[in-house]
Structure 1
């Protein structure tokens, strides 16, 4: 309680210096089933200086209508409509381009933040003077039931350790544009967020982990992220063609990836 009381006291006394705006990027493609729950988790944040940019990638369901209903009651919510389907990387990048906030964070339309996510993470970033952070989170199924807690990440990660095994969940990542400028995702079909983390880690020694569960990641049936072996192909492409590592260096990283991630029970 003393921690939270001190935070709110600072917010009241220094609103312009210690109350930076956070832009939240949410790509939307046929996400009507869960998007209301995702937006509600943002609206209910204990930290209020944020903007939510939802980018609709030519959905055919009622997802955009749900977003528009939220817009009517909250002018912090913005909706961008793609003229054609662009895929997740370009869609998120449009949100980054339009962002007005100092900090950029991400939440997909089927994931959820806990109410204190922004408050705790921003306080951690200020206290530790770090421009790039992530946090613990939970995995849930499509019905919202807990699968497992992702609360075993190290205190900090580097470019090299992240090449071997990514610990940064997109729904918890946040970076400071005052330090990095706006950094965008590489336009590939999958693991776009991973390419962004690697770019950021080339510009800073560490990304630090907030040691608290701040979000819930929904595991969907048939998703790429639920098929571990398909991910090998995407990681190999990143190592060889995006990060431009040699064949043997890429082989070293992919072997570590398989050992640390795919074979982990």
Structure 2
């Protein structure tokens, strides 16, 4: 089942980690509606090689300059068509259930904003919760 979530990835000189981030999107239990990569001044040809190696479909927006991650995210939002937007930094990865669980929560609670937290242990290749001591808030 596809979601109604647009994924926005601000990209700046992250060739070593972008492929891993894209693969974490591919492993979602609910696939994104679209993936938008906003190139914030990096080598466009290098970015294209990474996206081609990944093999999925992504819209790439080239800013032709470096304006910062916040600006790149805003451009990605303006290009998106989904009801929801999920930000993924190019050096991060998602738990495989992230989109499914977060979208279902937002629909069920009519929330306009949500966030999550976990830690991925690269040495053990597994996710760990970081919820100990974190309070849960619901913004509606």
The TM-score bracket by the shorter chain reads 0.7 to 0.9
Q: 1:149 to 1:120 in 2, by over 3 A?
A: closer
Structure with the greater alpha carbon radius of gyration: 1
* 2:92 paired with 1:111: yes
Bigger RCO (CA 8 Å, 6+ sep):
2
Determine the C-alpha separation between the residues in 2 that align with 1:46 and 1:67. 21
Greater share of helix residues, 1 or 2?
A: 1
Residue 41 of structure 1, CA deviation: 0.4
* 2:72 paired with 1:91: yes
1:134 counterpart SS class: coil
Q: How does 1:227-246 map to 2 (within 5 A)?
A: none
Q: How does 1:1-265 map to 2 (within 5 A)?
A: 20-60=3-43, 62-70=46-54, 73-75=55-57, 77-138=58-119, 140=121, 144-145=122-123, 149-151=129-131, 152-156=133-137, 206=139
Does the Cα contact within 8 Å between 1:54 and 1:79 map onto a contact in 2?
yes
Equivalent residue pairs, number: 135
Determine the C-alpha separation between the residues in 2 that align with 1:48 and 1:33. 24
TM-score, normalised to structure 2, is 0.83
Residue 53 of structure 1, CA deviation: 0.3
Residue 93 of structure 1, CA deviation: 1.0
TM-score, normalised to structure 1, is 0.46
